Chain A
Amino acid sequence: MKAYNIIVLAKQVPDTRNVGKDAMKADGTINRAVLPAIFNPEDLNALEQALRIKDKFPGSTVKILTMGPGRAADIIREGLFRGADGGILLTDRAFAGSDTLATSYALGQALKKMGNIDIIIAGRQAIDGDTAQVGPQVAEKLGMLQITYVEEVIELKDKKITVKRRLENGVETVRCPLPLVMTVNGTAPDCRARNAKRLMQYKHAKTVTELQKENEDYTHMYNDRPDLNIPEWTVNDIETDPSQLGLTGSPTKVKTVENVVLHAKDSKVISALDEEIETMMIELIESHTIG
């Protein structure tokens, strides 16, 4: 039986789903410090799809590629805890300010270097940029086919994959050749939990930068256990055309950003008492809003 080389694209994102009152500073800007950095939710669905293929086809490997600041090494560790074989952190100031196109270019160049890939699995969308563009753009950069909104892998046989896609008003089952890029929907199965044994095994996995801050007594451990070293690639580790990177390589520019502030209306406040509700209904009927 064939084994597959799978790469999962995963992004560390601020948890924008739980933006509470304290998430806004007095000056109306977002207080990123209070928003926890999390594994982008749909990227966990993507990881689960990868791990399921690995379960079915022993010998397959699942690696994570994430681009972000140093702390995004958490994404690789989280992946290791849940069953991934390893990962690469792509990190460099040269990538700062990337729009989706520059992001996809950098990811694409790293993927080319990783080489020999059968399946690339991304989440449909990241919850901070909210564009759902990176998956298809990575596919285009690599000249690969893309299958978006995957909910389930139905069959993987030789060099062909059959998947179910969730569209806005229906479902579609398609069969196509490998290699390809899939993007996975939030409606796909949730990711398995961390595995306790793997948690013990990999909690000390670190990047070089993180190791430099570490107590020297531990260095022997990293020499003995190469699997604890999280590779960290900078712009110098991949082949790039600087004009396609970061802010320079981004056709879109953010001109202005405005925080969404509630504008309070003059509302009529009433209770559930019969006469108050009746008065309201009469007002609505008289103003021809209803009736």
Chain B
Amino acid sequence: MNSVFVYCEIEDGHVAEVSQELLTKGRSLADELNCKLEAIAIGHQLDEIGKQIIPYGVDTLYIADDKRLSPYQTLPHTSIVVNLFKEEQPQIALMGASSVGRDLGPRVSSALHSGLTADCTSLVIGDHFDKKQDKNYENLLYQIRPAFGGNIIATIINPDCRPQMATVREGVMKKEIRDPKYKGKEVKLDVAKYVSDTDFVVEIIERHVEKSKLNIKGAPIVVAGGYGMGSKENFNLLYELADVLGGEVGASRAAVDAGYTAHERQIGQTGVTVRPKLYIACGISGQIQHRAGMEESAQIIAINTDPEAPINAIADYVINGDVAEVIPKMIKYYKKNTK
């Protein structure tokens, strides 16, 4: 049976979070399909990279190591992936819906004429009966994704072309090591066979990539503010509350757009997805794109002056009130009752 394949993104010698999450998902799909999980790492100085990747249950890791392959560039990475996929013929290929994956994925899918489904929120194996052709397809990848600004959820399939390709955002899947001593093999690719010199036409003149110090995804409590916070100053109330509760501050896009806080705190369809124990939505209306990033939180508190705000429908506690009044009281009564 053909393999499930994961493209591993590498920055500074580290495998990206999203790739680790996809390796975990890839492993469980491979188990279900009873096939191998394969992966590729493209970059420079990758001697130790196998230690980070194979424990996710990778049976074969292909490594393309060359000075010119780091940082990521479209054409050489595309050439390697396309040529390797032609040789290995995976049935499924997964990439991050990241700056890199969304640059690479469509290019690879076009070169191979295989469909690509963007931003999947769930990947499931299932069958499909095509009435027109009177044909049954077994073990297809159901690629489930929001579209139409998050107002609909579509299940996309790729009946005839291989690989079935999908991208997934960071934070959507959970990462989990299969076995720290997993036995997988490493295959070093002869890079010159996969790329041509004309692939290196882009000169990278300057590059600033910051590793986010924030860990909103891992926070047990997220205190998120929306446009209803009213100002950057009022956002300080959120930092205070997050601080006493031991959580992180998140935000809606409207709050980020208004300059109340940085984009890296944005939660939702175009931000991070979180599933904390407790999510406190302060002055957030709860539009679908925001809910997409937080509705799996174990408990939700909504603080809103509008009793009809959509967020209230998914909240465990609805506080009808002004954030400027409610948040200080929450701090006060938390302190009073935990002493």
Which residues of chain A have a CB within 8 Å of any CB of chain B? 14, 16-17, 19, 23, 30, 99-101, 104, 127-137, 139-141, 145-149, 162, 167-177, 250-260, 262-265, 267-272, 274, 277-278, 280-282, 284-285, 289-291
Contacts and interface: CB of A to CB of B under 8 A. Distances in A.
A160 B319 CA distance: 57
Nearest to A262: B313
A131 B106 CA distance: 9
Kindly name the residue among B119, B142, B245, B337 whose own CB sees the greatest number of chain A CB atoms within 10 A.
B337
B326 A272 contact: yes
Given A270-B320, A290-B278, A140 B111 contact: yes
Interface in B88-103: 98-99, 102-103
A105 B319 CA distance: 52
Nearest to B203: A175
Contacts of B113: 101, 251
A100 B146 CA distance: 16
B151 interface: yes
B146 A253 contact: no
Interface residues of B, number: 84
Contacts of B209: 167, 169-170, 172
A100 B211 contact: no
Would you call the interface of chain A mostly helix, strand, loop, or mixed? mixed
B317 A281 contact: no
Contact of B110 (A136, A265, A289): A136
Interface of B: 71, 74-75, 78, 98-99, 102-103, 105-107, 109-111, 113-119, 128, 142-143, 146-161, 201-212, 221, 245-246, 264, 277-278, 288, 298-299, 301, 307, 310, 312-322, 325-326, 329-330, 333-334, 336-338
Contacts of A170: 207-210
A137 B298 CA distance: 40
A148 B103 contact: yes
Contacts of A285: 334, 337-338
B212 A262 contact: no
A173 B99 CA distance: 14
Contacts of A23: 151
Nearest to B116: A133
B157 A252 contact: yes
B82 to A, nearest CB: 10
B314 A176 contact: no
Given A130-B119, A140-B107, A172-B204, A281 B330 contact: yes
A174 B318 contact: no
30 contacts: A16-B150, A19-B151, A30-B151, A100-B116, A101-B110, A104-B110, A130-B147, A130-B148, A136-B74, A137-B110, A145-B202, A169-B211, A169-B212, A171-B207, A174-B202, A174-B204, A251-B161, A252-B116, A252-B157, A253-B156, A255-B156, A257-B152, A258-B155, A260-B146, A264-B313, A265-B316, A268-B316, A278-B333, A285-B337, A291-B334
Contacts of B71: 172
A249 B236 CA distance: 53
A272 B298 CA distance: 23
A257 B142 CA distance: 12
